[in-house]
Structure formats: structure tokens, C-alpha cells
Amino acid sequence: MFDTTRLTAAVDRFADRLRAAPQSRLRRGAAAEGLALARELSARAQRLEAADGGPQGPPRVMPDIGVFVVADQLTVAAGDLAEALRTAPSVEELDEAVRAVERAVARATL
């Protein structure tokens, strides 16, 4: 089985920090970084699924449903990507996803 622990652990840490952040910090950009990352991870998962015979077409965009939900959206997107990587393993895709999480965390300044 392809090990996606690095990705899920990094996302879990970021999501926990988002959940613990005050509303003011979320509104100053941390939530936007989390949503952008969730959208990126979701698009990556959808591309992998399409390449493996899943639904074709442009990736569906995760909606902005509020700053207090971003951590959950991020967790769901990472779970979808982890599952897609288990079906179609790619070390390069995993490494890039982990780097994307690290960049988002740095920009979020939590």
C-alpha cells in the first residue's frame, strides 16, 4: 500500500491550527490560504481519478462556505487525494502535495 502519512499528517497539523485560530486571524488570510490549498489538493485528486478512469472534465471547484469550515474542507480534500494516490501511486505527486501544504502553512502565518 502506498503510504500517504506525510500528506495527511501535514494537513492535519495545518487544519488543527486553523481550527484553533481566532476569527480575526482567519479573516486576515489564514482561511484563504487553507481554502486555496483545499482547492489545489481537490483538483489534484480529481486529475488522478480522471487519469485512472474516473470522471472526465475540468475539476470541480471547492466552494467558499466560510472561514470556520475551511479546516474541514482541507481535511476532506487531503483525504480524497490520499485515496486517489493509493489507487494511482505517484511519489512525485505526493511530494508536490506535501510541499504545497508547507508553502500554505508558511503563507498563513498562524
What is the per-residue pLDDT across 19-43, written as a single tens digit (0 to 9) for each?
Answer: 999 999 999 999 999 999 999 999 9
- The pLDDT value given to residue 103: 97
The pLDDT tens digits of the residues spanning 52-104 come to 787 888 889 999 999 999 999 999 999 999 999 999 999 999 999 999 999 99
For the residues of the chain, what is the DSSP string, one character each?
----HHHHHHHHHHHHHHHHS-HHHIIIIIHHHHHHHHHHHHHHHHHHHHHTT---SSPPPPP---TTTHHHHHHHHHHHHHHHHHHS--HHHHHHHHHHHHHHHHHHT-
The three grid cell numbers given for residue 92, joined into one nine-digit string = 512525485
